[in-house]
């Protein structure tokens, strides 16, 4: 059967788009889903889209979810594309998470911690059973009063710092400062610090400093990070992690307009911060101590932040003098494949017409097969001609 190019046009594309809009809307007899409903009742989906879309705007994230028919990766793509059209007026100051208005804060390494532990809203302690009561309409659950912790709460990891048991940020296996542009989580900490790498305006290059790595992980696909983080716990890495502290709450976003000459708080945003504590056997220069992995995300995004912290630590292998033996420790592998917008583009472009490419390969395969058959035929003729004749 001959292969021919399929012909189509603008009308077919318009009809496909109209069909998509109709399917996305669903039964018109059912009330249309409002953005407020998505924002309020699908909060975790909204916050994932904001985080991986690199734009903190709940309404726009809800719109992207609605427009994308519930496909979160497509919603992230929509939000990321919109973000590129926005002007940038200021860079914010580093977030001060020590002054977070905490809604949830737990530590798996100490039972009693300064400021106490607060479970907050979590799935951790509930049964994974379908709740058929949710099918009933008009249910309004009552929640206990839970005010956020507004006073500054010291980080749990500071306890280990004071004892000298936690490796300082930016110190490698030999105790020396690491990196050219950011083996520190916050390299805006002093006027002499170089400006942090900006992944939204600078292409990712290798070797990548820790600031670039953390930015990449913050925007990375949650499922990809979760799988890699899981691999480090199963032996494909040298992690032996403990959740030093997981905290979620609101922090102030502050800018410093040069024309004003003073700082201005412009918003409160919800973030999740994770500090993982990992064993480190020490070296000739350093005694045995703990190292850290760090994760910070928009919204209530615990699983993502934990995965981010585990992979951050795994990617510090070279810095800490450890052998790189597993995918999660390979910086270039992780950062080059973590972005779901880029990944979906590469995979889904295979649905686009490749008629010319395929025809070229089809012709090549046919020629190879033809030459192979001709060669086999010649070999058979040669074998017949040289076959010895038996003597009666």
The pLDDT of residue 239 is 77
The pLDDT of residue 337 is 94
The pLDDT of residue 193 is 67
The pLDDT of residue 170 is 57
Looking only at the bridges linking them, the beta strands covering 101-106 and 241-255 are antiparallel
More confident residue, 392 or 149: 149
The pLDDT of residue 70 is 93
- Listing DSSP states for 286-318 in one string gives S-SEEEEEEEEEESS-HHHHHHHHHHHHHTTTT
pLDDT average, residue stretch 181-192:
41
Predicted confidence (pLDDT) at residue 173 exceeds the cutoff of 50: no
Q: Which residues pair with 26 in a beta bridge?
A: none
Q: Is 236 exposed, middle or buried (0-12, 13-18, 19+ CB in 10 A)?
A: middle
Distance CA(227)–CA(303), nearest Å, equals 11
Looking only at the bridges linking them, the beta strands covering 101-106 and 289-298 are unpaired
Nearest to 113 by CA among 265, 245, 272, 309: 245
Helix (H, G, I), strand (E, B) or coil at 369: helix
If pLDDT is split at 50, 70 and 90, which confidence band does 250 have? very high
Could you tell me which residues come within 8 angstroms of residue 362 by beta carbon, excluding any fewer than 6 positions away?
3
Distance CA(279)–CA(166), nearest Å, equals 10
Percent of the chain's residues with pLDDT above 70: 87
pLDDT digits (tens, 9 = 90+) for 324-356: 999 999 999 999 999 999 998 889 888 888 888
Phi then psi for residue 298, to 5 deg, are -65, 145
CB atoms within 10 A of CB 77: 21
Distance CA(163)–CA(371), nearest Å, equals 75
State the chain's mean pLDDT as an integer: 85
The pLDDT of residue 283 is 67
If pLDDT is split at 50, 70 and 90, which confidence band does 375 have? confident
Predicted confidence (pLDDT) at residue 370 exceeds the cutoff of 60: yes
Edge-to-edge strand list for the sheet holding 101-106: 101-106, 241-255, 264-280, 289-298
SS3 for 163-231 is CCCECCCCECCCCCECCCCCCCCCCCCCCCCCCCCCCCCCCCCCCCCHHHHHHHHHHCCHHHHHHHHHH
Phi then psi for residue 267, to 5 deg, are -170, 160
Beta strand ranges found along the chain (DSSP E) = 101-106, 241-255, 264-280, 289-298
pLDDT digits (tens, 9 = 90+) for 281-315: 666 677 788 888 999 999 999 999 999 999 999 99
pLDDT digits (tens, 9 = 90+) for 95-115: 999 899 999 999 999 888 888
Q: Which range is least confidently modeled, 110-119, 175-184, 221-230, 241-250?
A: 175-184
Predicted confidence (pLDDT) at residue 1 exceeds the cutoff of 70: no
Predicted confidence (pLDDT) at residue 189 exceeds the cutoff of 80: no
The pLDDT of residue 7 is 54
User: Is residue 237 within 8 Å of 329, Cβ to Cβ?
Assistant: yes
Nearest to 219 by CA among 53, 57, 46: 53
The pLDDT of residue 46 is 97
Percent of the chain's residues with pLDDT above 90: 47
The pLDDT of residue 133 is 82
């Amino acid at each position: 059967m001959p292969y021919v190019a399929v012909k189509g046009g603008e009308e077919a594309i318009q009809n496909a788009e109209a069909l998509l809009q109709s399917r996305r809307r669903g039964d018109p007899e059912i009330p249309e889903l409002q953005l407020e409903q998505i924002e309020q009742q699908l909060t975790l989906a909204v916050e994932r889209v904001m985080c991986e879309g690199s734009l903190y705007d709940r309404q726009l994230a809800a719109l992207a979810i609605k427009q994308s028919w519930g496909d979160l990766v497509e919603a992230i793509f929509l939000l990321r594309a919109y973000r590129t059209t926005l002007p940038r007026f200021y860079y914010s100051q580093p977030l001060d998470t020590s002054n977070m208005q905490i809604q949830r804060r737990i530590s798996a390494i100490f039972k009693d911690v300064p400021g106490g532990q607060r479970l907050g809203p979590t799935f951790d302690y509930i049964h994974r059973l379908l709740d058929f009561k949710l099918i009933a309409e008009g249910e309004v659950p009552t929640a206990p009063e839970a005010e956020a912790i507004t006073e500054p709460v010291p980080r749990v990891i500071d306890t280990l710092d004071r004892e000298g048991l936690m490796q300082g940020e930016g110190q490698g296996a030999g105790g020396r400062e690491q990196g050219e542009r950011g083996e520190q989580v916050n390299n805006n900490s002093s006027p002499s610090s170089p400006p942090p790498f900006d992944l939204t305006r600078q292409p990712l290059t290798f070797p990548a400093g820790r600031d670039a790595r953390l930015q990449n992980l913050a925007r990375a696909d949650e499922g990809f990070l979760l799988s890699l983080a899981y691999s480090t716990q199963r032996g494909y890495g040298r992690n032996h992690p403990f959740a030093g502290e997981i905290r979620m709450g609101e922090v102030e976003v502050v800018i410093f307009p040069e024309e004003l000459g003073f700082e201005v708080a412009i918003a409160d945003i919800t973030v999740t911060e994770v500090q993982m504590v990992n064993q480190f056997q020490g070296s000739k220069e350093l005694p045995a101590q703990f190292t850290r992995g760090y994760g910070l995300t928009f919204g209530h995004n615990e699983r993502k932040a934990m995965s981010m912290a585990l992979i951050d630590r795994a990617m510090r292998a070279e810095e800490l003098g450890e052998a790189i033996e597993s995918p999660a420790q390979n910086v270039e592998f992780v950062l080059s494949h973590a972005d779901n917008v880029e990944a979906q583009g590469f995979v889904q472009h295979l649905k686009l017409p490749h008629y010319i490419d395929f025809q070229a390969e089809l012709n090549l395969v046919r020629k190879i097969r033809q030459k192979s058959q001709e060669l086999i035929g010649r070999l058979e003729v040669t074998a017949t001609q040289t076959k010895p004749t038996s003597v009666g």
